A and B are shown apart, each in its own frame.
Chain A
Amino acid sequence: MKPGTKLKSAVCDTEVMVIRSGTGAIECGGSAMGEAKPDAVGTPAADFSAGTLMGKRYVDAAGSFELLCVKPGKGSLSVDGVALSPKDAKPLPASD
């Protein structure tokens, strides 16, 4: 997946921007995300319904995937069924 690609959830309002991507299927609410929104929007799976937060970055344990939430929704993010976790807010610069 090319960095900068915007992906939409098939089951909720979530939209993410791909910062970094390895090999694997990016999912939201347990369903694969795509560049287009499907005609019929499904519902998030119970295990992947914790929701996404605007502006949060989500990463996998290996650090090969990083997604930025640009629109929040009810589903939560995973890659090949393994949940992603939110990354801490960026430290402030030492001066601007």
Chain B
Amino acid sequence: MALALPLAGWAEAQLEAIRALAGTPALDGLSGVQLLGERAALNGFSIPGRRSAGGGCHLYDTIDGQVALTLARTDDRDLMPALFGDATIESDSDIVTAFATAQTNAIVTQGRQLGLAIAAIDEVPASPACRLRVTGGARPKRDRPPLVIDLSALWAGPLAGHLLGLAGAQVVKVESRNRSDRMREGDPMLFARLNQHKANVAIDLRDTEDRAALIALIRRADMVIAAARPRALAQLGIDADALVRDVPGLVWVTITGHGADGDAAHWIGFGDDCSVAGGLSAALREASGRIGFGGDACADPLTGLHAARQALAQWHKGTGAHLMLSMSAVVAEAIGWERARDAAGFTATLQRWTEAEGAPFPVVAARTTGPVAALGQDNGAWLC
């Protein structure tokens, strides 16, 4: 049997559902496995073990289990003394040693309070994969393609926006001038795949006029994709729930690491740590006895696919809604689906995956990239 990317079956099912809703030829050439393996193919990644394919996340042993921690942002390392309660923690080996004497629950709780992307291998997602938070009114009839405002950055949200574009929508990517999507420089090839054919608007969210212009743009939109915790947007004066109640037909999809139920609303998450929180590393351990990551940050592309599917399904209903997605719960749902479909086959896929540690990722079909807009190049066309 050839090496397969874990959870590719569920990814394909999401894409099938999007195709059935949209019926546009632009979606025909795509496959779920292509989207899951795209970043790894572009960057020449290897099958990960305890270090994630992209290198930003590691799995560590604790006294009573394993914990994944992403140290992707420059100042995350400054938080290591506060995470472990020890001012001397600095190097990678200090971190390994400190985890080895930590209790899983205590260290994950402390890390989440500190705003770190941390997850336990044996945790259960705190929120459902997709929660309907607020419902809105019926969308008025419009003689134009649906307008999508993509406020997100990195991978999951931009992929959702991209898929909605392939499904026939006009997509405007909005970036904050002081906190832009750094993937433009960090991974330009993936950025181009995810953001091709989108218009680009750049604003300063701290500026009153810019914020008013953004809210005016959102009020004309059919769908909004956001990947900030609701608190962060609310602190900037953008209240998604209120806008959904007020703008008939507006479909707002918020992508979060762990949903918005209770404390989880404050937790952050990236693709690899969320795949651990969703149970993929526990499934790998169960199947093979080994500790490692499944796929490449797979919570990102899986959530991008699911978000596009949910947004499109809601848009076809014709009424507004604020949908809250949880990346960790999306992974858990995908695992449950694969097990229900073919438990033995899923176990075999996971076994082959861990045995292939260090080998190149499975080859996925390449696809072409269209034009990528420069930061703010379409401000004149979209802001008034």
- Chain B, residue nearest A89 (CB): B179
Query: What residues of chain B lie closer than 8 Å to A45, measured between beta carbons?
Result: none
- Which of chain B's residues has its CB closest to A2's CB? B85
Bound form: Cα–Cα A20–B77 in Å: 12
Evaluate whether A92 and B182 lie within 8 angstroms (CB atoms) in the complex, with A4-B110, A68-B114 already known. yes
B270 touches A93 (CB 8 A): yes
Chain A facing B: main interface SS: loop
Do the beta carbons of A96 and B179 come within 8 Å of each other?
A: no
Closest chain B CB from A89 CB (angstroms): 7
Quick one: given A2-B85, A96-B272, are A54 and B266 in contact (CB under 8 Å)?
yes
Query: Chain A's nearest CB lies how many Å from the CB of B311?
Result: 21
List residues of B (65-87) whose CB comes within 8 Å of A's CBs: 70, 72-76, 78-79, 81-87
Q: B56 near A93 (CB under 8 angstroms)?
A: yes
Cβ-neighbour of B179 out of A5, A20, A68, A92 (below 8 A) = A92
With contacts A53-B235, A93-B73, A94-B186 taken as known, whether A3 is within 8 angstroms of B113 at the C-beta atoms is no
CB-defined contacts of B75 to chain A, threshold 8 Å? 90
* B181 within 8 Å of A (CB atoms): yes
Residue of A nearest to B206 (CB): A88
B297 within 8 A of partner (CB):
yes
A29 to B74: give the CA distance in the assembly, Å.
Answer: 31
Point out the residue from A3, A68, A96 that lies within 8 Å of B154, measured CB to CB: A96
> Does B343 belong to the interface (CB within 8 Å)?
no
A72 to chain B minimum Cβ distance, whole angstroms, is 10
Q: Would you call B266 and A18 a contact (CB within 8 A)?
A: no
CA distance A77 to B85 in the complex (A): 22
B54 interface residue per 8 A CB criterion: yes
Determine if B73 and A17 form an interchain contact, defined as CB atoms under 8 angstroms apart. no
- Residue A95 CB within 8 A of the other chain: yes
Interface size on A, residues (CB 8 A): 24
Give chain B interface residues in 228-247, CB to chain A under 8 Å.
231-232, 235
- Chain B residues with Cβ below 8 Å from A91 are 73-74, 179, 182
Q: Is B300 in the interface zone, CB < 8 Å from A?
A: yes
| Bound Cα distance A91, B190 (Å) | 19
A24 on the B face (CB < 8 A): no
**Contact indicator A4/B73 (Cβ below 8 Å):** no
What's the nearest-Cβ distance from chain A to residue B200, in Å?
A: 16
A42 at the interface (CB under 8 A from B): no
Closest Cβ of chain A to B298, distance in Å, is: 12
Residues of chain B lying within 8 A (CB to CB) of residue A20? 78, 81-82
**For residue B84, which residues in chain A have a CB less than 8 angstroms away from its CB?**
4
Q: What's the Cα separation between A55 and B112 when bound, in Å?
A: 11
Min CB distance B68 to A, Å, is: 12
Please report the C-alpha to C-alpha distance between residue A85 and residue B141 in the assembled complex, in whole angstroms.
48
Q: Which residues of chain B from 169 to 200 have any CB-CB distance to chain A below 8 Å in the complex?
A: 178-179, 181-183, 185-187, 190
| B297 in contact with A17 (CB, 8 Å) | no
Q: Contacts A68-B114, A94-B187 given: A4-B81 contact, CB under 8 Å?
A: yes
Asked whether any CB of chain B lies closer than 8 Å to the CB of A19, the reply is yes
A5→B155 contact, CB < 8 A: no
Which one of A2, A17, A93, A96 contacts B113 once the chains associate, using CB atoms below 8 Å? A17
Complexed CA–CA distance, A55 and B266 (Å): 8
Given A4-B81, A53-B235, A54-B231, 11 extra CB contacts under 8 A: A4-B84, A4-B110, A5-B85, A20-B81, A88-B178, A89-B179, A89-B232, A92-B154, A95-B54, A96-B56, A96-B155
7 contacts between A and B (CB under 8 A): A4-B110, A55-B115, A68-B114, A88-B178, A92-B182, A95-B182, A95-B190
